[in-house]
Each structure stands twice: as structure tokens, then as C-alpha cells.
Amino acid sequence: MGVGQLTEVRHPLQALSAGERVVIVGTGETAAVAFEYFCHDTPHEVVAFSAEAPFIEADSYCGLPVVPLDELADAYPAAATRVFVAVALVQLNRVRRRLYRAVKAAGFDCVSYVSSHAVVTPNVKIGENSFVQEHAALQYGARVGDNVFVGSGTCLGYRSVVEDDCYAGPHVTVGDFCRVGRASFLGANSCVADGRLVAEDCIIGAGAVILKDTAARQVYLGNPARPLGRDSFETFGVTGG
């Protein structure tokens, strides 16, 4: 496992296990990031990358083969392989969601990653294909859905819920008893006050401080955060909802 002090309380996802053979879906920066974490801080073995055929630019990535997504189940049978979909917040998390659903439909189970340098209370629930980086703190009773990214140093307070397909950057603070709705984006160092609701499909800009519940599909900035009156789908180029 990684450097430094191992925390005393371990989450099941931080436990040592025999490891899986993992294919990373994606061939961009986020895929390279995931590759580094899997190689150095998990017992998993990354065996290949995969992408949709039109987006494949080379036969290999990070020294491993790149397999077209529609050939993945033939090349790496779902019974013996796990998948991690490594795409950032493109189109307000729509691309990651679409690829996640595609690999699930192809019969794959997805792995989640929790850094050995995160502090995660064992009763925290974390779904599939979620990624929790170093120095994150997921406190008692917090819940993280499927396909969620939790950045470095981000804190999720007691009993807070982050729903599917969300993306939280580094040093985000989600207070106690909060809810972050599906596919929302929380920028670096943003903060959600205790008990507040971030509705679905919101963009919370870097450093924004949410003191009141937000409305869906809105973009918020500032301290205290104010809506810019911009539609988040337009801002992030979401097509097709």
C-alpha cells in the first residue's frame, strides 16, 4: 500500500485482497490517473484500456493494449475481468454515465477505488465505479453512489449523500446531512453548508460556498454562492439530457 501512515480504521474497499484483472475504459488523462492509482495503491492488475472505436488513436496506452469497447467482452470475458470507467466530467458527467451503463449492459462488474490515504468510516456505503482519492474523509453514515469521483482532501460529512454520476474536485467540503443530486459537479475547494441540498445537474464552481438549497441545472459561483442564471447543460455542452 502507499506511503505514510495507514489509518487504523479501514473501509472494506481499502482492505487488501487478491485483486482483480481490471480494464480501464478511457484513454485520456483521467485514465492515466486511474492507472497510476490502481498500479500503486491496489492489489488489482490493470490488463488493458478500452475506448469506443472512433476515439481510439493508438493500439496501446500506458504500455497496455487498447481494445474497442464493442469487442471488450470477447477479448476480456466479464466473468474474469472487472472494469473501471475513467472519464472526468465531460458533458456534465454524461460521457462517464453512458460508458458505465454500456459496460454494465455488456455484463461487467465495475471496481471502485478508495485510496489507502483516505479516511473512510467502515459503514460508509460506496457504489460501483467510484473513485476516492488520497486525504479524502468520508464520515460516519455517508453514502456515495455509483460512478462518483471524490477528489483529494474532500470531506463528506456525517450522513451526507452524494448521488450517482457526481464529480467532486479537490478540497471540497460537503457538510453533515447534505445531499448532492445526480450528476452534479462540485469544483475545487467549494463548500456545501450542513443540511443543504445541491439539486441534480448543478455546477458548483471552484470556491463557491453553498448556504442555501440550489435549483436543478443551475451554475453557482461565489461566497455566498449565487446562481449565474446559466443552464448547466449549455455550459457543459450536454446534448440529449
Partner 1 sequence: MTRHSEAPPGAAQKIPAAPAGRVVIVGAGEWAAVVFEHLRHDSPYEPVAFCAAEEQLSADGYRGLPLVPLADLARTYPPDRYLAFVAVAPSQLSQAGRRLYATVKGAGYTCASYISSRAFALRTARIGENTFVHQRVALQHGVRVGDNVVIGSGTCIGHSAVVADDCFVGPRVATAGFCRIGRGCLVGANSCVDAAVSVADGCVLRPGTVVLKDTRPHLVYTGNPARPEAQV
Site for partner 1 in 146-165 (CB under 8 A): 151-153
Selection from 115, 149, 113 nearest residue 135 by Cα: 115
Stretch that binds partner 1, among 72-80, 120-128, 199-207, 228-236 (CB under 8 A): 199-207
Work out how close the CB of 73 gets to partner 1 at its nearest, in angstroms, rounded to a whole number. 25
End-to-end distance of the chain based on CA atoms, in angstroms? 40
Binding mask 22-61 for partner 1 (x = CB under 8 A): -------x--xx--xx-xxx---x----------------
Cα pseudo-dihedral 15, 17, 22, 28, rounded to 10: 30
Amino acid (1-letter code) at residue 166: C
Selection from 199, 202, 99 nearest residue 146 by Cα: 99
Specify whether the CB–CB gap between 149 and 167 falls below 8 A: yes
For position 95 contacting partner 1 by CB under 8 A, the verdict is no
Show the cell assigned to 100. 458505465
Binding mask 206-225 for partner 1 (x = CB under 8 A): xxxx-----------xxx--
Work out how close the CB of 140 gets to partner 1 at its nearest, in angstroms, rounded to a whole number. 21
- Kindly list the distances between the CA atom of residue 171 and the CA atoms of 80, 192, 217, in Å, as whole numbers in the listed order: 36, 12, 23
For position 106 contacting partner 1 by CB under 8 A, the verdict is no
Task: Provide the 10 A C-beta neighbour count for residue 70.
Answer: 12
DSSP conformation class of 7: P
User: In the complex with partner 1, which residue's Cβ is closer, 25 or 191?
Assistant: 191
- Answer for which of 5, 59, 79, 241 binds partner 1 (CB under 8 A) is 5
| Residues that contact partner 1, how many (by CB under 8 A) | 36
The residues binding partner 1 (CB under 8 A) are 1-5, 29, 32-33, 36-37, 39-41, 45, 63, 117, 133-135, 151-153, 169-171, 187-189, 205-209, 221-223
